Amino acid sequence: MKDGVFPILFVLIFIKTFDFGLLLRIFDYKFILMISEKIATLINEQIAHEQYAAQYYLSMSAWFSGKDLDGIANYFRVQSKEELMHADKMFDFLNDVGGEIIIGEIAKPPHEFENAIDIFEKALEHEKKVTRSIFNIVKNANDEGDFATTSFLQWFINEQVEEEASASQLVTKIKMVSDNPSALYLFDQELAQRVFTPDPTA
Ligand code: FEO
């Protein structure tokens, strides 16, 4: 038998007998440790909440477009894009930590509103709901000692503080201007300035 035959035989026997399934299980185990099924489910649900918020704000934008208040419509259109960016960030995080991404069902948002004040109040109410939902994930992640998730969600906690403050301020402003066409015109012009800025880390 020639010298080179033994190494080849050795490699063939190794491939035939090696438990690649075990290797995959060990590899997988490393990732499973990064996130529990429970936290992955909560994040998947949050992705759906963010996508629903995008639809909800788009519906609000459509209402203002129908009233020729294009500046306010722009504000909600940008808000809708931000919500999709939030969903994308969560999608990428879940993928990075080895969680299974399951895209949920998105309900149809309302399209009828009483008036402009009603819309801004509903937007604020919705942001508060999102904040509670994110806090709930953080609480569960804390209980599990899931530092990757708590660290990741810190960005969202800060974002919610800003979003609630801004939504609350807009409720106050729309109440001041809604019965005054000149003031409403200026308010509309102000909100026309908002532009969508993609998050550099997304
Ligand atoms: Fe993604 Fe407005 O919360």
Distances in whole angstroms, Cα of residue 27 to Cα of each of 33, 98, 134, 149: 11, 11, 30, 20
Which of 99, 78, 136, 192 shows the shortest CA–CA distance to 86? 78
**pLDDT value of residue 128:** 98
Ligand 1 atom closest to the Cα of residue 130 is 3
Write out residues in the chain with pLDDT < 50, as ranges.
30-31
Ligand 1 atom closest to the Cα of residue 131 is 3
Residue 66 DSSP SS3: helix
Task: For residue 91, report the distance from its CA to the centre of ligand 1, in Å.
Answer: 14
Are residue 16 and residue 76 in the same domain, yes or no? no
Are residue 25 and residue 120 in the same domain, yes or no? no
163 within ligand 1 shell (Cβ under 6 A)? yes
Are residue 175 and residue 126 in the same domain, yes or no? yes
**pLDDT value of residue 6:** 65
Expressed as residue numbers, the domain containing 1 is: 1-33
153 within ligand 1 shell (Cβ under 6 A)? no
Residues in the chain: 202
**pLDDT value of residue 200:** 75
CB 63 within 8 A of CB 69: no
What tokens were used for 68?
């020729």
121 within ligand 1 shell (Cβ under 6 A)? no
- Overall number of domains in the chain: 2
Cα–Cα distance for residue pair 102/37, rounded to 1 Å:
12
**pLDDT value of residue 11:** 64
